[in-house]
Amino acid sequence: MRKLKIKHIDSFKDYIAFIENLRTKNSGPIWYRGCGKTSYELKPSLYRHKKSNTIEDLMQLEDRIISRFKQRSVPFHSRSISDPWELLFFMQHFGIPTRLLDWTESPLMALFFAVTLAKYKLSVRGIPVYENIAAIWILDPVKWNTHAINLKSFKGKILITDDENANAYKPVGDCNAMKEYPIAIYGTHNSQRIVAQRGVFVCFGKNTDPMETMYLNNAFPKDCLLKLTISSSKLPHFFDAIHKHGVSDSVVFPDLEGLAREIKREFKFEV
């Protein structure tokens, strides 16, 4: 049976060395996703609905969510959004459930999210005590897309929204025309956060399984999906390292909310 490559990382130095070694072997782009809990599945928020679990039900749910957002969001933003893809990325930015799964082009951003999304309690000395093992997923988006699109005419690449191979994934589309597997796609840079976080996306199709399950059960290229883990005891050291390298809340979230988080951490409040 096929296995997913999993590597445990003990230090920031080991993390950077692993990434650099990976880059020397792969001249193409590499994407990263940090998770505060190693058991967290690679599945978008829409597909985590408790009752709707078939693709038909989920597409109907997506349609209703988009309609409701269009009706209710007008007073809260200053411009009209007519393009369905741009609307989907805009909704994702504000936490509305979508078929999109966030990734980043930056390994430091992924590490930041892995550390800061991990649950913790502050000790009496103000030191975080973490509860879970964190994880960083690594994706080769070009290799993934090559299998997901599965056409002789398709020259492996990361898709953009006006690519004909992305048409079947368009919001409020026909789920019968949609392809089986998720696609790696560049999104609209319609917020400062997406720019700061080097944000990129995977858009899901008919298959509602997590990406790791799809990888294990199908003929995706070997090691196009990898997993790194960080033990809970090491997470404070990783947080200190990432902060010293200039990646903090106000950098990742370039707004007052991000600044507020950073100040809370600085003065030993739980975030």
Tens digit of each residue's pLDDT (9 = 90 or more) over 158-217: 999 999 999 989 887 677 888 999 999 998 776 787 888 899 999 999 999 999 999 999
Burial class (CB in 10 A: 0-12, 13-18, 19+), 60: middle
- Predicted pLDDT at 232: 96
Report yes or no on 204 lying in a domain: yes
Report yes or no on 86 lying in a domain: no
- Predicted pLDDT at 94: 84
Q: Which amino acid is at 220?
A: F
- Predicted pLDDT at 1: 64
Tens digit of each residue's pLDDT (9 = 90 or more) over 146-161: 999 988 788 889 999 9
- Where the chain has pLDDT below 50, the residues are none
Report yes or no on 139 lying in a domain: yes
- Predicted pLDDT at 66: 92
How many domains are there within the chain?
1
Strand duo 199-203 + 100-104: pairing: antiparallel
Report yes or no on 1 lying in a domain: no
Report yes or no on 47 lying in a domain: yes
Contacts of 180 (CB under 8 A, 6+ apart): 148, 205, 206, 207
pTM of the model: 0.93
Report yes or no on 81 lying in a domain: no
Closest CA relative to residue 183, chosen from 44, 66, 79, 12: 44
Closest CA relative to residue 32, chosen from 225, 223, 161: 225
Label residue 9 left, alpha or beta by phi (over 0 means left) and psi (-120 to 50 means alpha): beta
Report yes or no on 161 lying in a domain: yes
Report yes or no on 82 lying in a domain: no
Domain extent at residue 137 = 6-73+91-266
